[in-house]
Chain A
Amino acid sequence: DAMVIQNPRYQVTQFGKPVTLSCSQTLNHNVMYWYQQKSSQAPKLLFHYYDKDFNNEADTPDNFQSRRPNTSFCFLDIRSPGLGDAAMYLCAAQKGTYNEQFFGPGTRLTVL
């Protein structure tokens, strides 16, 4: 059974057109993460929520925003996608800290 679900799996958007990626989890874990992974590179943390507390990485562009309306759902909003934002976006859930992070299957974003 899927534990971390991401929708859509593939997203195509136009340059500058806002896009929202969705993540939900059935684990009831209190920590959720968003990563960006470009081809042949390591996943790069964008931000994470510890419960309702939002933690932004220092080098995450302002173009990227996130919302977590409840424990189960987390959204990634890209306000004005550029060509350089084309990547796989991974969501992960974790119970507390120092425990395994469970990743969703990712959303592959294409920017035209």
Chain B
Amino acid sequence: RKEVEQDPGPFNVPEGATVAFNCTYSNSASQSFFWYRQDCRKEPKLLMSVYSSGNEDGRFTAQLNRASQYISLLIRDSKLSDSATYLCVVSHNQGGKLIFGQGTELSVKP
């Protein structure tokens, strides 16, 4: 079983749709949680960190449930430019090593 598992994609949605990504992690020692975005043939870039209290950045909302070991990302009013692969990422106590999920591809259509 992979340590970080995400919804299999791809997600194909129309502009303006709300889309939700789900992620689970198996290591209860995980301390830090992130969503990274990766455009086709580009490097991953941090989208947002995820906190237990939940956090919002414009159209993006991330939530963490430590008890269930579950992380989510909600994108409202999706734009064509949101098309990318979204990577769920966790980090353990042992330094800053990141464990990546396999990613979920999002395609937003006109």
Contact = CB atoms under 8 A, between A and B. Distances in A.
Interface of A: 31, 33, 40-45, 48, 50, 55, 88, 90, 94, 96-101, 103-106, 108
A105 B38 CA distance: 11
A98 B43 contact: no
Interface string B82-104: 00000100010001111011110
A100 B46 contact: yes
Contacts of B46: 100-101
A42 B103 contact: yes
Interface residues of B, number: 21
A42 B96 contact: no
Contact of B97 (A42, A48, A88, A99): A48
Contacts of A99: 96
Interface of B: 4, 31-32, 34, 41-46, 49, 87, 91, 95-98, 100-103
A44 to B, nearest CB: 8
Contact of B95 (A31, A88, A104): A31
Given A31-B96, A41-B102, A98-B31, A105 B42 contact: yes
B89 to A, nearest CB: 9
B43 A50 contact: no
Given A41-B102, A43-B44, A98 B87 contact: no
Contacts of B100: 42-44
B30 to A, nearest CB: 12
Contact of A98 (B4, B42, B96, B102): B96
